[in-house]
A and B are shown apart, each in its own frame.
Chain A
Amino acid sequence: MVDSLKEIRRSQFLAELLDQLQDPVHVRLVKAFEGDEPVQSMEEELKRIILEILNYEN
């Protein structure tokens, strides 16, 4: 129960934080805050964002 409540509470905090963000990159990074290794998950998202820029044709 404690774990699921923690998950809900964490989601509430993140939702409040997302409300304050406008930069789409920031939104994507905060949305990637999940799982047991959120830093790793966010780093992977940031890597994806950078690769998207690198691979963008125009």
Chain B
Amino acid sequence: MKIKSMTAKGFRGFNVERSINFHDRLTLIYAPNSYGKTSISEALEWLLYGVTSKVEGADYSKDEYKGSYRNSHFPESLTPFVEIILADGVNETIFRAELYADTIQKKYVNGAEVQEWSLDYNPLEIPKPFILQHALKHLLLVTPDERFKGFARLLGFEDLDQIQRKLVSLCTKPDAAIPSEARQLEKDIDALQARLDAQPSLGSVSKNFKRRKKGLSETYETTMNECRQRVPAGTDDASIVPQLLKIRDEAVSKFFKGNIVLNDYGVTEKQNLMDDENFALGYVTDSLIKKYSDLIALATIQYVVNRIKLFDLGINLLENDPNKCPLCGQEVNQTRMQHIRNEHSNLVQEKERNATLTRQRDDVLKSLMELENRLTGYHHRHATKAESFLKIRDSLVLLRKILTPKHDKHYQAIETALSEVSEVKDRFEKTYALLTKDLDDVKKSINESKEKQKLIKALGSSTPRYIRDAKSFVEVVSRNATSVSEAKQVLKYELDSIAGTEDISVLVDLLTRWNAVKKQFEIDNVLDNLKELRRIVDQYVANKMLSAVSEELTSEVMAWYEQIKTKGDPDVHFGGFDLERNSKGELKARRVQIKATSYGKELVSAVSSLSESKLNALGLAISIAHNLKGNSPFEFIVIDDPIQSLDEEHAVQFIDVVRQLVERDKQVILLSHSRQWINQLRAGCRTLNGWFYEITSYTRDGPHIVEVHWEKRTERLKEVDAVLKDPNAVSIRVQQAEEEIRIVIAELASELYEQKTGTRKSPHDINQSKARKMLIECGIDNQLVDKVTQTFETTDDAHHASTGYTASRERLRNYYDLTLRLTQYIK
């Protein structure tokens, strides 16, 4: 597939719409720097790949390129786009990409939206048809790491680069993966090893311990042997630790008795405490206060019962003589009788209501008991927490003597913890006493039917106060637990030192913590083995890269490099690719080595040996060689400013490279900032008859692209004249001269038409019928028009002769004369 044309609007340097047609063999575009030349290659690259190499290679500075695809002057309401026509020799297809929200690309093929370009190739395996000057620098004059990345990008190994980097990151910096439990374990085992190292009598154990996992069984054996020497003969293995502890305790207790323990609350413990707290705090609610207040009514129940009894008696007595009161004998009329019955009925109902309240009272009492039970348990857990620790207060003087001044910090920690813990404990004991009193008062009031609202409200206040103080206790214990634990450890070591039981203490710790030791060694082993993983990854990546650069690329690069080097060059040249090796002969993963030779001698590195110009030439050779590799569907190649760092001689050599690419049927689109070189290139490729554009200015609208004749008309006619005058001119020269005539006639038709109508039509688009129509419109004699336009029937601008074509000097002479006649119409 070749590119026929490109149209861009609102993209990069293009503000208003601009179009450019491409010759199917060679298109040259000249522009001074900053005239928008690179916007052309970027537009093509972005359309095909959705990203430009410049943005893709930005790595850490991608933010700087944010929004850079959109032309900064392009109206917000419009959508930037790039459109190209690709031709495969049979069909032409329009590919259009529109830009949305900085980077989103919508794709259209012949006007229909598509998700992906249907180009039937793997973009990761097929090289991009672009040779970009700014990308070449990533291959050579950069740090080794950047060079590796440059080659990875060139060869489609970006993922390999990523895999290597990320795995190495894990292998060299695994810290984030180490959980806090493992860190604590490591700290503990390191401390154990330090104590072991400090015991000359345990040298054999220490030596094996240092071998970590490899010396695990030997460490255990030597530890047990040392233990056996320190316990009475005949002690079985299972009794060794208790025996050693007994020996140690006996020795140490001569200097200090007591135990400093202030354990922090565990997770489960804290959760249980929180459950009790939530229960207690949710207990004295408005609902409970109401239930309790309702019970006040129960105080009247006895009175009601007595009255019911009286009424029962009265009603029974009245059964005998309903009209007379059985007590005073006065007359009882109907109204009074009804009143007595109503009163009795009301009292019965009230008694039933009181029965409900009685059940309610039982419920309240039951739940108060539950509260009491939970608070008792809750308080007990706190109260016993520091019980043993607080007893140390009696031994403070002795502790000071043992720990200070050497371990003043730890002594102070104990003192502070004692002070803080006892203070907060005293406080919460007091509030607990108040709480239990309030609870008792509420219970008592219910039992005695002397409920008072103020009692239940007092309980409602003392409960949260107690919980608050209990929580403060938890906080103080937690805050001091670590420092007390450290102080305890230091005290233990100090006592061992005084009592001469350090070795026993270390041996006991080794055996009691043997499982932890094994775990630590296992973790050490996993972390140590990450070095081996890194080595394997490095070797894998290095071999992949070496295979790609040395086996697949070297000879091709050599061949292209030979094209660019000049005859006068010193014999210091590119000598192939390799990867650096370490002292063991293993490949270094990210060290692509570019070898050089100097007068037959191999040099360490081409980068330090070759001139910048040669390195640039080498970069071009690498890119070209890679680009021609594989079955790319793209028959074109865009070369952006290839001679930026080439000296004049090497730049001239590169012209041959361009010719060869064209001769290999590559459609070359070449952009350069050097007018002189472009002119040399046109001269060197004169017979290719490509198209030439010049960007004459750059304004807010974008680049002003002007098409320039590949060669002056007079020069072409001079060449034809020379062929006619050369009796030895071979037929291919005659054929080429005939082609020159065709181009001149197309140009003349274009000029005459513009002269007549003011409208310019590209000579590249003019075929025989168009030329005939235009020339007749210009008023040229019909007979002359018919004759000159016959030239289109012989050859095309690619020197492809028509079937049955035979070069003819006579026909060429005839065309030449007719062309001269046509030139006379130009004013």
Chain A contact residues, CB within 8 Å of chain B? 1-2, 5-6, 9-10, 13-14, 16-17, 20-21, 23, 25-26, 29-30, 33, 38-39, 42-47, 49-51, 53-54, 56, 58
Contact = CB atoms under 8 A, between A and B. Distances in A.
Contacts of A43: 170, 174, 176-177
Contacts of A1: 115-116, 123
Interface of B: 49-50, 115-116, 122-124, 156, 159-160, 162-163, 166-167, 169-170, 174, 176-179, 181-182, 185, 515, 519, 522-523, 526, 529, 532-533, 536-537, 540, 544
A53 B156 CA distance: 40
21 contacts: A2-B124, A5-B124, A6-B124, A9-B124, A9-B156, A10-B159, A13-B160, A13-B163, A13-B544, A17-B163, A17-B536, A33-B166, A38-B166, A43-B177, A45-B177, A46-B170, A46-B174, A51-B181, A53-B523, A54-B523, A56-B519
Contact of A14 (B163, B515, B533): B163
Contacts of A5: 122-124
B167 A50 contact: no
Contact of A53 (B49, B522, B529): B522
A23 B159 contact: no
Nearest to B50: A2
B178 A10 contact: no
Contacts of B115: 1
Given A33-B163, A38-B166, A17 B185 contact: no
Contacts of B181: 51, 54
Given A2-B50, A5-B124, A50 B177 contact: yes
Contact of A20 (B124, B156, B162, B536): B536
Given A10-B159, A20-B540, A50-B178, A42 B526 contact: no
B257 to A, nearest CB: 35
B526 A53 contact: yes
Nearest to B49: A2
Q: Which 9 A-B pairs have the closest CB atoms?
A: A46-B177, A43-B177, A1-B116, A10-B159, A26-B533, A47-B177, A42-B170, A53-B522, A39-B166
B167 A42 contact: yes
B167 A30 contact: yes
Given A1-B116, A50-B179, A53-B523, A33 B159 contact: no
B116 A29 contact: no
Contacts of A13: 159-160, 163, 544
Nearest to A38: B166
A1 B114 CA distance: 12
Contact of B159 (A6, A20, A26, A51): A6
A5 B185 CA distance: 45
Contact of B540 (A17, A29, A58): A17
B555 to A, nearest CB: 25
A23 B535 CA distance: 13
B167 A33 contact: yes
Given A20-B540, A23-B533, 5 more contacts: A10-B163, A21-B533, A29-B533, A47-B178, A51-B181
A58 B518 CA distance: 9
Contacts of B185: 54
Contact of B179 (A10, A29, A54): A54
Contacts of A25: 526, 529
Contact of B536 (A14, A26, A45): A26
Contacts of A54: 179, 181-182, 185, 519, 523
Nearest to A21: B536
A20 B159 CA distance: 18
Contacts of A44: 177
A42 to B, nearest CB: 5
A9 B544 CA distance: 13
A24 to B, nearest CB: 10
A58 B514 CA distance: 11
Given A25-B526, A47-B177, A49-B526, A9 B159 contact: yes
A5 B657 CA distance: 33
A19 B179 CA distance: 29
B529 A23 contact: yes
A26 B170 CA distance: 11
Contacts of B162: 10, 38
Contacts of B167: 29-30, 33, 42
A50 B182 contact: yes
A34 B614 CA distance: 42
Nearest to B181: A54
Contacts of A21: 533, 536
A30 B167 CA distance: 8
Nearest to A26: B533
A29 B166 CA distance: 11
Nearest to B170: A42
A15 B156 CA distance: 17
A26 B529 contact: yes
B446 to A, nearest CB: 52
Nearest to A46: B177
A13 B166 CA distance: 14
A26 to B, nearest CB: 5
Contacts of B182: 50-51, 54
Contacts of A45: 177
Contacts of B179: 47, 50-51, 54
A53 B178 CA distance: 12
Contacts of B116: 1-2
Contacts of B160: 13
Contacts of A50: 177-179, 182, 523, 526
A46 B810 CA distance: 86
A42 B169 CA distance: 10
B518 to A, nearest CB: 9
Contacts of A58: 515
Nearest to B163: A13
Contacts of A2: 49-50, 116, 123-124
Contacts of B159: 6, 9-10, 13
Contacts of B536: 17, 20-21, 26
A14 B166 CA distance: 12
A6 B125 CA distance: 10
A1 B169 CA distance: 29
A38 B540 CA distance: 19
Contacts of B519: 53-54, 56
A16 B544 CA distance: 10
A11 B124 CA distance: 14
Contacts of B526: 25, 46, 49-50, 53
A34 B522 CA distance: 26
Contacts of B156: 9
B273 to A, nearest CB: 25
A47 B185 CA distance: 14
Given A13-B160, A33-B163, A43-B176, A23 B124 contact: no
A41 B788 CA distance: 75
Contacts of A46: 170, 174, 177, 526
A30 B185 CA distance: 26
A11 to B, nearest CB: 9
A50 to B, nearest CB: 5
B547 to A, nearest CB: 12
Nearest to A30: B167
